[in-house]
Chain A
């Protein structure tokens, strides 16, 4: 079923999609933005964004997202809460399939960002909400005076560990390498926090428990030596994966699943653009995503004229 005809459909409501929508709407193009949940993208989970120009005192990610949204709809951007599930080419039109129906447009800008990567080990799914969590900010309060593990070694993982240290009795960071990827300032904070300890070169094989998580099974990367760690919580923070599963076989993707574009944000298919974190070689910043969105919108306008 085709509900409507748009000039451009934007998939994703983060900084890339909202900026693209602002530009296409201001250019007078009938635009629809498709977003699965709250607008703002990954940035909404940042308590304070201090590197987005124009806000010398920083701004909460949630507020930044809301402001971008208000600015875009002020110029007539249409939005719908729906998840994109596919794109098909219909002669010169693009049919965007979503969980709330299908929509036709002359052009599409894919700005669907990324989602949290899972460990995909036994016990992970089973114990979600029973000790397994992907959001320390949300759930740390439920682990007061308990021992928890954080899996990962990047900025996000170390930020989570530092937050958990305010609540938990002990935080063990489990990392598959022998050094952290996290930035220097975060590393120093974590290394000087007495509640945080590190397990290097370690992989989690399994999460065990009965009703709730009780322990995790570990393996040393080099020696293969196995061990067990008693924990009540496992916080998984092993990076992001681009939301491009529905584009496999339609658009060329890099090995990690990001969409390959040129510097005009054009993909291999004329009239389909990509912007933000979903794009190969993105710097993954709110400001670069916004820049991508503006670039994609400007070349979309040229494509349509």
Chain B
């Protein structure tokens, strides 16, 4: 199974904002249990949406710049970017079905 790519502050612009296809960024931290809870769901979704939506992870503990830039105040926060623009912002652990719906809506 393809695990979401870990992205750092320096790579954010290139990998997320300049991506050809939409990107879902999972802002997380290793001490955050709800983040760990949705990790296996995101692994599966990364596979299911492969080629249509990239799913990447930003560890807020190591990458405060990106977290501050997007006013992250709670994790997990899932942000979807299309053509460099933030189009969706979801906070908190969600069910797989709900996340699927959120991604589907963002791809419309």
**Contact A99:B33 (CB < 8 A) given known A81-B40, A142-B72, A212-B73:** no
In the bound complex, what is the Cα–Cα distance between A61 and B31 (angstroms)?
Answer: 12
Which of B5-13, B17-25, B80-88, B93-101 touches A?
A: B93-101
Q: Which residues of A sit under 8 angstroms from B61, Cβ to Cβ?
A: 141
Contact between A37 and B33, CB atoms less than 8 A apart:
no
Contact between B74 and A36, CB atoms less than 8 A apart:
no
Indicate if B58 sits at the interface (CB-CB under 8 A).
no
In the bound complex, what is the Cα–Cα distance between A137 and B97 (angstroms)?
Answer: 26
- The total of chain B residues at the interface (CB under 8 A) is 29
Q: Which residues of A sit under 8 angstroms from B92, Cβ to Cβ?
A: 128-129, 134
In the complex, what residue of chain A is closest to B38 when comparing beta carbons? A37
Contact between B34 and A138, CB atoms less than 8 A apart:
yes
- The total of chain A residues at the interface (CB under 8 A) is 28
Q: Which residues of A sit under 8 angstroms from B89, Cβ to Cβ?
A: 129
For the complex, would chain B's binding face be called helix, strand, loop or mixed by DSSP majority?
mixed
Partner of B44 from A38, A81, A137, A143 at Cβ < 8 Å: A81
Interface residues of A in 102-150 (CB under 8 A from B): 128-135, 137-139, 141-143
Contact between B75 and A38, CB atoms less than 8 A apart:
no
Indicate if B91 sits at the interface (CB-CB under 8 A).
yes
Indicate if A227 sits at the interface (CB-CB under 8 A).
no
Q: Which residues of A sit under 8 angstroms from B95, Cβ to Cβ?
A: 36-37, 83, 99
**Contact A131:B73 (CB < 8 A) given known A83-B95, A137-B31:** yes
Contact between A38 and B73, CB atoms less than 8 A apart:
no
Rounded to whole Å, the gap between the CB of A11 and the closest CB of chain B is: 14
Indicate if A59 sits at the interface (CB-CB under 8 A).
no
In the complex, what residue of chain B is closest to A140 when comparing beta carbons? B31
Contact between B37 and A44, CB atoms less than 8 A apart:
yes
Contact between B73 and A137, CB atoms less than 8 A apart:
no
Contact between B77 and A129, CB atoms less than 8 A apart:
yes
Indicate if B102 sits at the interface (CB-CB under 8 A).
no
Q: Which residues of B sit under 8 angstroms from A37, Cβ to Cβ?
A: 37-38, 40-41, 93, 95
Q: Which residues of B sit under 8 angstroms from A142, Cβ to Cβ?
A: 67, 72-74
Indicate if A228 sits at the interface (CB-CB under 8 A).
no
**Contact A129:B36 (CB < 8 A) given known A81-B41, A81-B96, A138-B31:** no
Partner of A62 from B36, B38, B77, B97 at Cβ < 8 Å: B36
Contact between B97 and A83, CB atoms less than 8 A apart:
yes
Indicate if A260 sits at the interface (CB-CB under 8 A).
no
Indicate if A45 sits at the interface (CB-CB under 8 A).
yes
Indicate if B29 sits at the interface (CB-CB under 8 A).
yes
Contact between A139 and B96, CB atoms less than 8 A apart:
no
Partner of B33 from A45, A81, A100, A143 at Cβ < 8 Å: A45
Indicate if A82 sits at the interface (CB-CB under 8 A).
yes
Contact between A44 and B41, CB atoms less than 8 A apart:
no
Partner of B32 from A128, A135, A143 at Cβ < 8 Å: A135
Which residues of A are at the interface with B, using a C-beta cutoff of 8 A?
A: 36-38, 44-45, 61-62, 81-83, 99-100, 128-135, 137-139, 141-143, 212, 233
Which residues of B are at the interface with A, using a C-beta cutoff of 8 A?
A: 29, 31-41, 44, 60-61, 67, 72-77, 89, 91-93, 95-97
5 extra interchain contacts, Cβ-Cβ under 8 A, other than A128-B92, A134-B92?
A38-B40, A62-B33, A81-B40, A99-B95, A138-B74
